[in-house]
Amino acid sequence: MYSIGAMSKATGVKVPTIRYYEDIGLLRAPGRNAGNQRRYDQHGKETLGFIKHARDLGFGLDDIRALMRLNGDLGTDCAEADRIAASQLVNVQARIAKLQQLATELERISHLCDGGNGGQCRVLTALGDHSQCTSAHD
Asked, for residue 65, whether it belongs to a domain, the answer is: no
pLDDT value at residue 119: 66
- 75 sits in the region (left: phi over 0; alpha: psi -120 to 50; else beta) called left
pTM for this one? 0.77
Domain span holding position 29 = 1-60
CATH of the domain at 31: 1.10.1660.10
Q: Is residue 134 part of a domain?
A: no
Domain count, the chain: 1
Residue 110, in any domain of the structure:
no
Backbone angles phi, psi at 2, to 5 degrees: -120, 140
CA–CA distance, 88 with 90 (Å, rounded to integer)? 5
Average pLDDT for residues 53-73, to the nearest whole number? 90
Count of CB atoms situated within 10 Å of the CB of 104: 13
Mean pLDDT of 96-115: 85
Cβ atoms 51, 18 nearer than 8 A: no
User: Can you give the pLDDT at residue 123?
Assistant: 78
